[in-house]
A and B are shown apart, each in its own frame.
Chain A
Amino acid sequence: MFFRAARRLVLRKPGLGIRGIHNPGDTAHSKGKIAPYTNYHAQRSYPMPDEPFCTELNAEQRALKEKEKGSWTQLSHAEKVALYRLRFHETFAEMNRRSNEWKTVMGCVFFFCGFTALLIWWQRVYVFPEKPITLTDEWKAKQLQRILDMKGNPVQGLASRWDYEKKEWKK
């Protein structure tokens, strides 16, 4: 909503907006080809574009717009659809269609996460210092015995998990 307001402020300045031509014949197949500097923008939360989708009309379309000024009961169904397509790029159903973009996004997220793992591997090989002696398995085993001898955290902590009679971890 605020982006739209900002957009309108920016694009209202003369010279910045190239009026979209939007030949209705090829909009069906060129949904990615809208010029970036047109004032047409519709979204579900703000479906009121500043200008019609097609601004340059051929003679047939101009005649139709003239007919639109009269009573709308004279318009055939096809003409009404054509008028809609002149004013709007897509119907609500088309605009709100779901897409598979999330798959691409998540795939790329996972890919780069995986790449991060490779970076950390490189770090482990080339950057990490020697493992301190206190982190070797033998030292840790002796340290554990010392803590158990001192009965460290005997209420809820480490020594409470050790069975002193059977000399094994409690199940």
Chain B
Amino acid sequence: MARQMHQKRTPDFHEEYGSVTLAGGAPLCVATWTYTATQIGIEWNLSPVVRVNPKEWSD
């Protein structure tokens, strides 16, 4: 009936797969958002300062 004080615990789901999930999810998120934000033609309409060179407009 006397039990050991420190039981050997079988690893739970988070110990087995937590790091993998984190290490996979974060780069995936960064990659997909970088692609979405830059490569597919979404207009962000950022400030023209420094970014746009003016062009003559009056014909």
Identify the A interface with B (CB < 8 A).
24, 28-29, 31-32, 60-61, 64, 78-79, 81-82, 85, 99-104, 106-111, 113-115, 117-118, 120-121, 124-125, 128, 131, 135, 137-138, 140-146, 148, 158, 161, 169
Contact = CB atoms under 8 A, between A and B. Distances in A.
15 contacts: A28-B7, A29-B10, A64-B1, A78-B1, A99-B14, A101-B14, A107-B24, A107-B25, A110-B22, A111-B28, A117-B36, A131-B41, A141-B52, A142-B55, A145-B57
A39 B33 CA distance: 47
Interface residues of B, number: 43
Given A24-B3, A107-B21, A169 B56 contact: no
Nearest to B16: A100
Given A81-B5, A120-B36, 19 more contacts: A29-B10, A99-B15, A100-B15, A100-B18, A104-B13, A104-B21, A110-B22, A111-B24, A114-B32, A117-B36, A121-B36, A131-B43, A138-B55, A144-B52, A144-B54, A145-B56, A146-B57, A161-B49, A169-B50
B22 to A, nearest CB: 4
Nearest to B5: A81
Interface of B: 1-3, 5, 7, 9-10, 12-15, 17-26, 28-33, 35-36, 40-43, 45, 48-50, 52-57
A158 B49 contact: yes
